[in-house]
């Protein structure tokens, strides 16, 4: 990544997005961060941070304006397994809107490179039923049997990225995150990942005093 790049990070108020902004700034990039909320635990180092709703197409056009070269699309309605299995319709609708609008806005604003953050939830559930299941490979997402809701919309968004590459030559890349957690990650509120929730419960149980996680 060249220090001369102008970069957009969506989902920059979230755990992964916030850390990515810090990494890109350290590498010398000019960074615009956008999210529906600001980072929870420290100020963003982004050159610009805009609070916006990327479910709206006009907001996606605005986010990708101004000579942005690379887009890291990490914006998503997501959380731990308890949340994503109880909000199938809302999560599917919100993320389909974000991903479709961000791809089209990136095409119209001549983005050079586009990275989409997918998920391990795209992998076929039928291949993960046994304790003796082999390690998953990229091709194990097919035949399709992803997690309902969140997994299906992520899998189709991957296909949309491939369609935009084929039809419009938008240089798209895809990464599939697994259970990601660590410093500055959400640890309460219902959207936290299991390791953070367990750590919080252990801290609370420790004489009733919470400790920093």
CA distance 203 to 213: 8
**Nearest in space to 97 (alpha carbons), one of 55, 52, 60:** 55
Give the mean pLDDT of 169-194.
Answer: 76
SS3 state of residue 5 = coil
pLDDT value for 205 = 74
Domains in the chain: boundaries: 6-126+137-178
- At the top level of CATH, which class does the domain 6-126+137-178 belong to? alpha beta
Residue scoring higher pLDDT (142 or 210): 142
Res 12 pLDDT > 80: yes
Res 190 pLDDT > 80: no
Rg (CA), the chain: 18
Residue scoring higher pLDDT (12 or 84): 12
Please list the active-site residues: 150
Return the H-helix or E-strand segment holding 106: helix 88-108
């Amino acid at each position: 990544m060249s220090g001369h790049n102008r970069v957009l990070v969506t989902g920059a108020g979230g755990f992964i997005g916030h850390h990515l902004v810090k990494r890109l700034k350290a590498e010398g990039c000019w960074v615009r961060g956008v999210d529906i909320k600001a980072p929870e635990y420290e100020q963003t180092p982004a050159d610009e941070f805009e609070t916006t709703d990327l479910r709206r197409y006009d907001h996606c056009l605005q986010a990708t304006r101004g000579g942005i070269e690379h887009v890291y699309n990490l914006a998503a309605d997501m959380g731990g397994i308890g949340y994503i299995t109880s909000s199938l319709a809302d999560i599917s609708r919100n993320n389909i809107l974000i991903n479709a609008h961000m791809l089209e806005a990136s095409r119209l604003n001549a983005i050079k490179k586009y990275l989409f953050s997918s998920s391990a939830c795209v992998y076929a559930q039928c291949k993960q039923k046994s304790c003796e299941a082999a390690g998953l490979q990229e091709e194990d997402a097919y035949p399709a049997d992803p997690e309902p809701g969140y997994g299906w919309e992520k899998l189709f968004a991957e296909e949309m990225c491939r369609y935009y590459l084929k039809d419009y030559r938008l240089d798209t890349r895809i990464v599939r995150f697994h259970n990601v957690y660590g410093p500055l990650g959400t640890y309460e509120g219902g959207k936290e990942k299991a390791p953070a929730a367990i750590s919080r419960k252990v801290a609370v149980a420790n004489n009733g005093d919470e400790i920093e996680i």
